[in-house]
Amino acid sequence: MKEKLKLVLPKGRLQEQVLKILSAIGIELIFSSRSYRPLCSDSELEIKLLKPQNIPPLLALGRHDAGFAGYDWLLENDLENSPEVLQLLDLGFNKVRLVAAVPDELIPNERWKSMRLVVASEYTCIAEKYLQRRGLNAVLIKSFGATEALPPEDADMIIDNTSTGSTLVANRLTIVDEILQSTTRFMASQSAFDIPWKKAKLEQMEMLMRSTLNAQSRVMLEMNVAKEDLERLVTDLPCMRFPTVALLYGEDGYAVKIAVPAKDIPKLIPELVIRGARDLLEYRLEKLVP
């Protein structure tokens, strides 16, 4: 039996977006209620679910070939520049900030700066470096989830991730520092890249995921235009390289096709109509390989 590529997926909040992009590149999973090993539609893959904080160190040890985890856990495990873990692609989703926050009552006169602080965090490595860098007088305790519930009785500061900050506000905490920003990364073990077929498989997956992300940021526009309006229409269009132009049946004008940034659509479509575009169609892309 051929060896399989061992792909580890994150449990928790990262999982939904990871499953979506895997589905977009043709990899479907079937879950059972208790198993950490879902079935996979790709016979070359063996899937396991783990907490994201465990994934980078296990990749470094070569226990798995590839996986998904937040940049924060790569830093927490001191693996950002490790030759054993390769960052193949920044997927850009599940964006969070790692912040230091203190109870609201410590904000006046910046009381927290002059106190001996009890600091709670799941990110003990990152927290220690931050406290040293700021020169704060502090003792650090490791938390195990729900870090925001510890202040004010059990901690004077927390170092935790947040996406909107609403949970911190609800617990009467104020952000005093942003330490870093984190997004989900697709990463691989260097030992997997030393095996030619695994390297080829991982590079193929990376290319397909990158093309999916590229497609999500653009839309395709198709339109017809009269011969006399063609040059006015295509001049300075925000397309990838050049617009695709084809002569219409009966040589009565041209069909023009362009892939453009989705964010430009509200201003671009009215401008195209002014330039002579007719019968304009907009549709989403599935893959975009530059």
**175-191 tens-digit pLDDT:** 999 999 999 999 999 99
Amino acid 279: pLDDT: 93
Amino acid 252: pLDDT: 85
Question: pLDDT tens digit string along 38-90?
Answer: 999 999 999 999 999 999 999 999 999 999 999 999 999 999 999 999 999 99
Amino acid 76: pLDDT: 96
Amino acid 33: pLDDT: 75
Single out the residue of 66, 58, 87, 94 nearest to residue 7, CA to CA. 66
Q: In angstroms, how far apart are the furthest CA atoms of the chain?
A: 82
Domains of the chain: 5-94+183-215 (3.40.190.10), 96-181 (3.40.190.10), 218-284 (3.30.70.120)
Question: pLDDT tens digit string along 228-272?
Answer: 999 999 887 776 678 889 999 888 899 999 888 889 999 999 999
Q: What is the pTM of this model?
A: 0.84
Question: pLDDT tens digit string along 90-143?
Answer: 999 999 999 999 999 999 999 999 999 999 999 999 999 999 999 999 999 999
Residues 130 and 177 sit within 8 Å (Cβ to Cβ): yes
> What is the DSSP code (8-state) at residue 62?
T
Contacts of 100 (CB under 8 A, 6+ apart): 130, 157, 158, 159, 175, 176, 177, 179
Amino acid 184: pLDDT: 97
Burial class (CB in 10 A: 0-12, 13-18, 19+), 53: middle
